[in-house]
Structure 1
Amino acid sequence: MNRYYRIWRITSMFISFFIKVWWYKKREERLGKRVMAPRWTALFQDMAHRFCETAVELGGLLIKAGQFFATRVDLLPSEITKELSQLQDAVPAASFDHVQKTIQKELGKPLEEVFLSFNKEPIAAASLGQVHQAVLPKGDKVAVKILRPKIDQIINADFAAIRITMIMAKFFTDLSKQLDLDAIYQEMHQTFSDELDYRLEIKNAERFRNNLAEFENIYIPRMYKSHSTSKVLTMEFIEGQKIDNYEFLKKHNIDREELGRRLIQSYLHQVVVDGFFHADPHQGNLYVKADGTLVFLDFGMVGEISNRTKENLRNLLFSVVERDSEKMVDAMANLGFLRPTANRNLVRKAMQFFLDNHTPEQMKEMEKTKNLGPIGADLREFIYDQPMQIPANLIFMGRAGITAFGVAFGLDSTMGAEVAGPYIKKLMEDKDGGLTNVVLQRVKDYGTTLITLPGLLSRTLKKADLGELYVKVGNLGDIQRAVLFQTRLANRLVLALLTSTATLCAVIFYTQDFYSEARGAALIAAFLGILLLWHSRKKPRDSSQPFHRNGPF
């Protein structure tokens, strides 16, 4: 497919989305939110459906992008994220001729010399590559992953189209006022570009093997570097079944509850202890051997958590336990949960309200009943109603966590939150600067404040005595809106008074047979009346609020 045609297909699709959303906003101003609510729902579903159809047809980055945005519940309406979550990373396989040519070019030998046998039919085909089963000359069974033809050109064209779309969004929509589009683009570019180099996947697999060595029944397949390049990856073939093949588990007497707990504990270990985690732990990347060994596959998409992020997550956890909304907002700001336009004071009040209405007793009850629906709905509405966002660097951790926990609950629906207990405790303990260091830091902060307080108080009182003390208000939003309202009200009162006066003059002139003057006064009254109606319709826009009840749209 021609590069420029591909870019046009993608950008024209998004342009049509922008136009439709703009038109629906205009209609909402006339018809009202209640009338437009079902129409918005239908529009979002239609947009998501068209995106999925286009992604399946074009392949490449669109499928990955759709899966990425399916996790952005803070940006997109639920109608869109629900449809995108069904987008499967499966496309028709590339020709075997391409596979042969790629192997010969990358490994320097014909396929027949590299492998003792090679299955022409792929066992899996995805948007970026496909996998074939083969046997090495020494008899080792392997799985060979090959990038799709011209995938570099396709991905570059898709990145160009997405970049153009984001530039248009900056100019023709208000998205850039609420979202850091450049950061989102950079995160996508970095993440998906890494998947095009299989040498990085080999390094990731080796790192996971070392990190998870303490788990006896978790296995990372062997990677064959001598038979791998940036476009060809040869790894050990796993004799087993997907983790959700419950008949296989039953046949081999594998304890589903223990397997689910092992999966969650290994994932928490990756996040809390290692700070390096598998970012795509769905059923297709989790296999189980006949002896019950859990196998992780596909290490192209990984995530990493810095020590600073872990520290802020720890502070956020402390603030929730202490039910301290001010510290919670500080931790959220450090993690990037607050948008640039956020009014931190309003967010703090909202967080305090949220904490007050979700008591520990309610949380325990939801944990017992496994019904997280109420708090999930509240969190979703809270994100939409407040100037908040999910940080791009934590998106994959959240997505991977939800995926892993979903797989685990499929294995054991009775699993409770206690499985995470040891790792939550580890997050809060002394290791890597845990509880002790946090307490010492707080004591240090309080001590510094006490030492500097007398001098600060003395300087403040001296300025007050000299009349040099000024008060700076950090956020004048509410005051400005109040002043603006009073100004608009005064203007409307003056216009109403002038309109009434002109009308009264017209009546007096007419009764006194001054018809020319009466017509002039009537015209003035009509003009002032139209001006009054126009001013009455204008509504000030609060730029600190989200665009729409369903998110930035």
Structure 2
Amino acid sequence: MQQPKKYDADWIARYYRRRPWEAIARVFKILWFLGGFLLRMVLDDWFHQSEKNKLKRASELRHTLTRLGPTFIKVGQALSTRPDLVRKDYLEELIKLQDRLPPFDTAIAFNIIERELGRSIEELYREISPHPVAAASLGQVYRAFLHTGEEVAVKVQRPNLLPVISRDLYLMRWAAGWMAPWLPLNMGHDLTLIVDEFGTKLFEEIDYLNEGRNAERFAANFQDDPTVKVPAIYWRYASSRVLTLEWINGYKLNDTENIRALGFDPNAIVEIGVVSGLRQLLEFGFFHADPHPGNLFATLDGRMAFIDFGMMDQLDERTKETLAASVVHLINKDYYALADDFITLGFLAPGTEIEPIIPALEKVLGKAMDESVGNFNFKTITDEFSELMFDYPFRVPAKFSLIIRSLVTQEGLALSLDPNFKIVEIAYPYVAQRLLKGESPAMRSRLLEVLFKDGKFQWQRLENMLGIARSGGNFDLLPTAQLGLQYLLSKEGLYLRNQLLLALTEGDRLHTEEVGRLWHLVKDEIQPARLFDVALSALSSK
């Protein structure tokens, strides 16, 4: 089966329409497993046992998807991030779905390596483990040494994977087109497009050359970050089905005992992961979409190592700016603007009447924002939103299902290490710092949205943001002050200069009390010599 390396739904459909017999056996197997599961659900309903057996059935669904193989395991993982498609009790079970299968025969794996790389195992590697050290749904990994001495991981794809996945995607797309008209709007909306997005990402994930390129791009983004480690790629030993990369010595993040034995705090390393995740979304727009414990390691020198760059995604500038805006509107409790952000991001369809939705947003998000920042729990918010999905026309765009998966996975990992962990205690300082630094016109625009409401300067908000930013522990005020002063002195900052003058004299009085509170907040960081240097630098760059 010679088919394109990239997902092409039309090509796959033409292939199987000409060879329907190749799909028939798979259809019977799928119907046997899924049909038996659905029959048990119907019997539960007939005998009024649905509530009693719902957790049992959710567990059965997870095991059924596992037995159906790699594509369905991936489907289960994708569905675990879709509260608009799956009930809450099933979501909780699917989140547990492990991307693992028994390993395939090493002789077959070595044959694939030799065929793909054009040399014998002995010529390629000085030494290689006789059995895989890890096995997943799409491939397995061996530990080896190159003849030049480097310790490497050799990733080998499962045999015949592309035809198996293509056949399953063809059947899924056919089923999606058939079922969509019978489903509620928010469930049936663009169901074939969801399958296509899933297929595109799955094809990218099984192209190991694409994974290697992703790893190098990710490494370039974090080249100046000493806390993040990315394995090097050995391109002479790589193909679309075999990837040789630097071996990472360390421990999985949930191996807290060994991490502490190295002298490191597991929670501190998880914090590195959270901040690096925010940088991926809000700075680079290029993010790792599968940060489960098997893909994250604490290295022997205390860094966070990322591996497995098959599932990545890219956010455009408009999406990054809208995400920043939504954070601002959430902080400001501006639910009308937040609803507009949801339309821009695709969570609500264009033209959706937002008036009836505002009370629901206030109910879900207002309660969370009324509590302290430290009590904000992302998992709780997504769970409550999953209930709203069936009452309001919310939907989760396929791209954002990967973001949600990333955030929920990171928070879940952190909570497994520390039940008191609060992701927002780390996220808020980072977002506040990004806004205060105002390194781009978009970020400066969002900062102005925070600082002004109805044309009036919000002193309390600035005070709160400074306090939150400083709580991150690594926020240096003076470089931020330099950026701010440069902006104030620029043509772009004319509006802000005028507004600040008005704010200082608003209500026919000087706002010395507010200025005094801000000074008390930052005075310990203001050293005269550094302050003079900042002012001089800002003036010279004018």
Indicate whether the TM-score tops 0.5.
yes
Identify which range, 85-94 or 321-330, moves more after superposition: 321-330
1:338 aligns with 2:354: no
1:431 aligns with 2:447: no
Distance in 2 between the 1:193 and 1:92 partners?
22
In the TM superposition, residue 406 of structure 1 has moved relative to its aligned partner by 2.5
| 341 and 183 in structure 1: CA distance in 2 versus 1, 3 angstrom threshold | farther
Q: Which position in structure 2 is the counterpart of 1:277?
A: 287
Q: Which position in structure 2 is the counterpart of 1:322?
A: 332
| 180 and 408 in structure 1: CA distance in 2 versus 1, 3 angstrom threshold | same
| 127 and 291 in structure 1: CA distance in 2 versus 1, 3 angstrom threshold | same
AA at the equivalent of 1:265: V
1:396 aligns with 2:402: yes
Distance in 1 between the 2:257 and 2:332 partners?
46
Residue 106 of structure 1: which of 81, 99, 116 is its match? 116
1:384 aligns with 2:390: yes
CA offset digits 1:305-340 (Å, max 9, x no partner): 211111222232232233233222111111111257
| 58 and 76 in structure 1: CA distance in 2 versus 1, 3 angstrom threshold | closer
Q: Which position in structure 2 is the counterpart of 1:84?
A: 94
1:8 aligns with 2:14: no
Q: Which runs of 5+ in 1 are unaligned?
A: 28-34, 448-553
User: SS of 1:358's equivalent?
Assistant: helix
1:180 aligns with 2:190: yes
Are 2:336 and 2:354, in contact at CA under 8 Å, matched by a contact in 1?
no
Distance in 1 between the 2:157 and 2:380 partners?
44
1:39 aligns with 2:50: yes
AA at the equivalent of 2:389: I
AA at the equivalent of 1:381: E
Distance in 2 between the 1:371 and 1:326 partners?
22
AA at the equivalent of 1:185: V
For residues 505-544 of structure 1, the aligned pairs below 5 Å read none
CA offset digits 1:415-438 (Å, max 9, x no partner): 443322343125535334335435
Are 2:99 and 2:136, in contact at CA under 8 Å, matched by a contact in 1?
yes
CA offset digits 1:258-287 (Å, max 9, x no partner): 222222111211111111111111111111
In the TM superposition, residue 96 of structure 1 has moved relative to its aligned partner by 1.6
AA at the equivalent of 1:266: S
User: SS of 1:384's equivalent?
Assistant: coil
In the TM superposition, residue 222 of structure 1 has moved relative to its aligned partner by 1.1
Distance in 1 between the 2:22 and 2:61 partners?
20
| 387 and 16 in structure 1: CA distance in 2 versus 1, 3 angstrom threshold | farther
In the TM superposition, residue 75 of structure 1 has moved relative to its aligned partner by 1.6
In the TM superposition, residue 94 of structure 1 has moved relative to its aligned partner by 1.0
Are 2:71 and 2:168, in contact at CA under 8 Å, matched by a contact in 1?
yes
User: SS of 1:72's equivalent?
Assistant: coil
User: SS of 2:90's equivalent?
Assistant: helix
| 375 and 57 in structure 1: CA distance in 2 versus 1, 3 angstrom threshold | closer
Distance in 1 between the 2:417 and 2:44 partners?
44
Q: Which position in structure 2 is the counterpart of 1:358?
A: 367
CA offset digits 1:177-211 (Å, max 9, x no partner): 75320221122011111011000111111111111
Are 1:41 and 1:79, in contact at CA under 8 Å, matched by a contact in 2?
no
User: SS of 2:225's equivalent?
Assistant: coil
Q: Give the total of aligned pairs.
A: 430
For residues 45-60 of structure 1, the aligned pairs below 5 Å read 45-46=56-57, 48-60=58-70
Distance in 2 between the 1:421 and 1:180 partners?
34
Identify which range, 433-442 or 172-181, moves more after superposition: 433-442
CA offset digits 1:230-256 (Å, max 9, x no partner): 000001112222122112112211133
AA at the equivalent of 2:125: F
For residues 81-160 of structure 1, the aligned pairs below 5 Å read 81-160=91-170
Identity of counterpart residues, as a percentage?
A: 30
1:297 aligns with 2:304: no
Distance in 2 between the 1:152 and 1:49 partners?
28
Structure with more contact order per residue of length (Cα contacts < 8 Å, sep ≥ 6): 1
Distance in 1 between the 2:449 and 2:253 partners?
45
Whose Rg is larger?
1
Distance in 2 between the 1:327 and 1:371 partners?
22
| 77 and 214 in structure 1: CA distance in 2 versus 1, 3 angstrom threshold | same
| 117 and 394 in structure 1: CA distance in 2 versus 1, 3 angstrom threshold | same
Are 1:279 and 1:400, in contact at CA under 8 Å, matched by a contact in 2?
yes
| 16 and 346 in structure 1: CA distance in 2 versus 1, 3 angstrom threshold | farther
AA at the equivalent of 2:146: L
| 245 and 85 in structure 1: CA distance in 2 versus 1, 3 angstrom threshold | same
In the TM superposition, residue 17 of structure 1 has moved relative to its aligned partner by 6.8
CA offset digits 1:58-95 (Å, max 9, x no partner): 32211111111011122211222122222211111111
Are 1:187 and 1:392, in contact at CA under 8 Å, matched by a contact in 2?
yes
Distance in 2 between the 1:225 and 1:319 partners?
45
Are 2:186 and 2:393, in contact at CA under 8 Å, matched by a contact in 1?
no
Q: Which position in structure 2 is the counterpart of 1:453?
A: none
| 249 and 394 in structure 1: CA distance in 2 versus 1, 3 angstrom threshold | same
Identify which range, 15-24 or 314-323, moves more after superposition: 15-24
Q: Which runs of 5+ in 2 are unaligned?
A: 1-20, 456-542
| 434 and 210 in structure 1: CA distance in 2 versus 1, 3 angstrom threshold | same
Are 1:11 and 1:164, in contact at CA under 8 Å, matched by a contact in 2?
no
| 386 and 128 in structure 1: CA distance in 2 versus 1, 3 angstrom threshold | same
User: SS of 1:91's equivalent?
Assistant: coil
AA at the equivalent of 2:371: M
User: SS of 1:182's equivalent?
Assistant: helix
| 340 and 184 in structure 1: CA distance in 2 versus 1, 3 angstrom threshold | farther
In the TM superposition, residue 368 of structure 1 has moved relative to its aligned partner by 4.4
Distance in 1 between the 2:216 and 2:175 partners?
38
Residue 256 of structure 1: which of 266, 272, 275 is its match? 266
| 272 and 162 in structure 1: CA distance in 2 versus 1, 3 angstrom threshold | same
Distance in 1 between the 2:79 and 2:428 partners?
31
Distance in 1 between the 2:29 and 2:147 partners?
46
Are 2:37 and 2:61, in contact at CA under 8 Å, matched by a contact in 1?
no
Identify which range, 168-177 or 329-338, moves more after superposition: 168-177
| 4 and 110 in structure 1: CA distance in 2 versus 1, 3 angstrom threshold | farther
